[in-house]
Chain A
Amino acid sequence: MAKKKVVIIDDEEDFCFLLSKLLESSGYFEVFLAYDGERGKNLVLEQKPDLIFLDYVMPKMRGDEILTIFKNDERIKRIPIIMTSGLGEAAYVAKIIQRDKGDHSLIGRLPLPRDLSREEALKLNQELGVEAFLEKPFSRQMLFQAIEKILGNLS
């Protein structure tokens, strides 16, 4: 079977390296890296991956701006996105995204929003167009669980 294409958009180079190594060592994936939103978009357009890993907190281009661009672009909006963040539970991050609209310079300064219930969280994910959240740090197990949920069985 052909390897799945994965694009990782994250400003942390080390993280990108490690994640790509982990994915590629499984043998199922071909990984492409971008360290910012602009280059990430170009990369996605170029490669048309099967999966995108998008970090929330990134300088330059605002986190969910990228998300919005992707979702509004016909060519790439159907590509599933896994969002990663060190900020905490998935729903929580989603809430932050919704509130901040990607202005992550506010992180660390505003009072934190109220937590979402499970239902709210799922709904938010759907609205945002995010397939799954992975909370950093995540284990290998959690990673492949999420991937398989989206892309189906890999083997």
Chain B
Amino acid sequence: MYSKIQLKLFILLLFLVLFLGSGILFVSQSHQRQIVAIADDQQKQLQVFIDDILNLKGRSLYTVVFDYTYWDEMVDFVKDPWNEEKIRWARENMGGALATYSVQHAWILNKKKELVFDIHEPGVTPVSFPLFSTAFPSIFSGGNFGHFYFWDEEGLLELRGATIHPGSDIVRKTPAQGYFFVARRWNAIFVGELAHLLGGKVTLAPLSANVSVSDARDSSANKISDKMYFTREFKDLGGNPIAVLTVERPFMLAGYAEQFSKGYRRFYAGVSIAFVIVFFLFGFFWISMPLAKISQALYSEDQVALKRLSRSHSEFGRISELIIRFFKQKEKLLKEIIERRRTQRKLKDAQTQLLQSEKMVAVGQLSSGIAHEIRNPLANIVLAVDCLRQEIPAANESVNRQMDIIQKSATRANKVVVELLNFARERHLNLEQISFNVMIGETLDLAESYIKAKKIAIQKNFYAGKEVFIHADRILVEQALINILFNAVDAIESQGMITINTFLKGAGESKTQEIVVEIVDTGRGMTSEIQKKIFDPFFTTKELGFGTGLGLSNAYMIFQRHQARVQVRSEAGKGTTFAITFPCQMG
């Protein structure tokens, strides 16, 4: 049942599925890219945001360092830091600053970079701090302000420093009078605040020399991480990174991407399967099956199956219809051909018979004229001799003999003419219903002795069924048959056989049945030339004086008058068959 067209359809289906797949893949990919773009965008935005937050958070530290270093009283303190009153001032103001600005430590150094005052938030572990002096150049390399970080056992410390100037010198033109440093501890609370502000998980970790700052973000574009990572490095005095702040924020869309991906895959799989099933069903019922039925029906020429198909309202239906019509035409044509052939055969038969009849009629016509012309003189001859006999009473033996001869000759001539006339004339038919086999039997009785005398074998194959009758003139028909038999005998030169077959013809078709008698001889046969002339009057293959050539003609005429058909089959050297077909009636 799998027709080639199903294979082609299957290939088409594969293509369709591939197209669908690639379409879905494309959409999925572009979705992915969209999400990546969004992620990137978000990343950038968040980075800016995070930077802003960090800056914001660090702002206060800068403010304190800025504001408190263009202050006359600060200058005063630095000049005389051991003064108790000034120390009291410093404690008060610096303490306030610590509280106000959420700073944990502060140091003041004099012009000579010597530590003259330090203070820390109560409860906070004081920080033992390395000397600044050696690092000063780098701290203040950018100007009057410095910013760096320090990592100790407590964690990260953010430090800012500024040069001290009188209050009027906000721009810090004058040389530095001293140095002020503050430090903020990035403690858990601070980091917590950051985390809260940043809206993500914040981790602070020291950076060891051999650990490189890795981008925790998965750089592969295919998989979208559900987390976003941001980092900030903190550098120490020497400019080396000593800690890194990692902000982890969830990326919501990643989950969606994953879902989409899965969703797409499921959709694709489902649709493909449905496609295949539907396609196959359609293909099978709407194309494969009708096609198979049509080719099957065509193969076996089954019109019933086609008839069912032709009712379908589709091309297949139409095709089936056309095929049925084609078959019907074929049948019609075949019938016509058969009919035509039959007609041709009949025509040929009739023509042959007619030709024969016409020949005979012509002869008949000829005969009567000739007969008349010959018989009158013959009559004269006979009468003359009679007269002569009267006039020569004492005729001698010789004379008498001669007169006898004359009369006998005339009589003989007359006989020939009579035979001719008899042939030419239609004798009155004395019809009776006779059993066919009986008639054949009688004929054989008459001819048997002659046949056996010539040492010819006789074989009889007679029809053995229900008795058959023909309407015929017994004497004439038997005479005709004997003519044929004698012809057969004469055809056999030395030894041979004559077979007589009788059988029925045209069983059961119509009421008029026919019975056939065949006379087969193993004689010298006839060429087709001779066959054509065999029934012609006066035609004979015998030598002069051995027959008038009227026997078979006569027989043919007799058969014709009985509505019987005569057929000859012969091959030179192989023998001859005469077949005579009579219309008959069952007993």
A residues neighboring B (CB under 8 Å): 12, 14-15, 18-19, 21-22, 25, 57, 84-88, 92, 107-117, 120, 135-140
Residues in chain A near residue B300, CB distance under 8 A: none
Residue in B390, B410, B425 with the greatest tally of chain A CB atoms within 10 Å: B425
- Check if A136 sits within 8 Å of B387, measured CB to CB: no
Which residue from B371, B376, B381, B410 sits with its C-beta under 8 Å from A12?
B376
Cβ-closest chain A residue relative to B421 = A88
B residues neighboring A (CB under 8 Å): 361, 364-366, 368-376, 378-384, 386-387, 390-391, 410-411, 414, 418, 421, 424-428
User: Nearest chain B CB to A139's CB is how many angstroms away?
Assistant: 6
A139 to B370, CA, bound (A): 21
A88-B425 contact given A15-B383, A22-B386, A108-B366, CB 8 Å threshold = yes
The 9 closest A-B pairs by CB, nearest first: A108-B369, A86-B375, A136-B379, A137-B379, A18-B383, A115-B428, A137-B382, A25-B390, A137-B378
Supply 20 further A-B pairs (C-beta < 8 A) apart from A111-B365, A140-B386: A15-B380, A19-B383, A22-B387, A85-B372, A87-B375, A88-B371, A88-B418, A88-B425, A92-B425, A107-B368, A109-B369, A113-B426, A115-B426, A136-B375, A136-B376, A136-B379, A137-B375, A137-B411, A139-B386, A140-B383
Which residue from A14, A108, A140 sits with its C-beta under 8 Å from B380?
A14
Residues in chain A near residue B384, CB distance under 8 A: 18
A110 to B364, CA, bound (A): 9
Residues in chain A near residue B378, CB distance under 8 A: 86, 136-137
The binding surface of chain A is classed by DSSP as: loop
A25-B424 contact given A15-B379, A111-B365, A136-B376, CB 8 Å threshold = no
Residues in chain A near residue B381, CB distance under 8 A: 137
Residues in chain B near residue A18, CB distance under 8 A: 380, 383-384, 386-387
- Check if B371 sits within 8 Å of A86, measured CB to CB: yes
Residues in chain A near residue B371, CB distance under 8 A: 86-88
Residue in A18, A84, A87, A92 with the greatest tally of chain B CB atoms within 10 Å: A18
User: Nearest chain A CB to B289's CB is how many angstroms away?
Assistant: 73
Residues in chain B near residue A12, CB distance under 8 A: 376, 380
Which residue from A14, A22, A112, A137 sits with its C-beta under 8 Å from B364?
A112
Number of A-B pairs whose CB atoms are under 8 Å?
Answer: 97
Residues in chain A near residue B369, CB distance under 8 A: 107-109
Cβ-closest chain A residue relative to B390 = A25
User: Nearest chain B CB to A96's CB is how many angstroms away?
Assistant: 9
User: Nearest chain B CB to A105's CB is how many angstroms away?
Assistant: 11
Cβ-closest chain B residue relative to A14 = B380
A108 to B374, CA, bound (A): 13
Residue in A15, A135, A137, A139 with the greatest tally of chain B CB atoms within 10 Å: A137
User: Nearest chain B CB to A29's CB is how many angstroms away?
Assistant: 13
Which residue from B368, B383, B424 sits with its C-beta under 8 Å from A137?
B383
Residues in chain B near residue A88, CB distance under 8 A: 368, 371, 418, 421, 425
- Check if A111 sits within 8 Å of B364, measured CB to CB: yes
- Check if A21 sits within 8 Å of B387, measured CB to CB: yes
A95 to B421, CA, bound (A): 15
User: Nearest chain A CB to B561's CB is how many angstroms away?
Assistant: 10
User: Nearest chain B CB to A26's CB is how many angstroms away?
Assistant: 8
Which residue from A15, A22, A86, A110 sits with its C-beta under 8 Å from B372?
A86
User: Nearest chain B CB to A31's CB is how many angstroms away?
Assistant: 13
Residue in B370, B381, B390 with the greatest tally of chain A CB atoms within 10 Å: B390
A117 to B428, CA, bound (A): 6
User: Nearest chain A CB to B249's CB is how many angstroms away?
Assistant: 133
Which residue from A14, A87, A109, A114 sits with its C-beta under 8 Å from B365?
A109
21 A-B residue pairs with Cβ-Cβ distance under 8 Å, sorted by A, are A15-B376, A18-B380, A18-B384, A21-B383, A84-B379, A86-B373, A86-B375, A87-B368, A108-B365, A109-B365, A112-B368, A112-B425, A114-B426, A115-B428, A116-B428, A117-B428, A120-B428, A137-B375, A137-B410, A139-B382, A140-B386
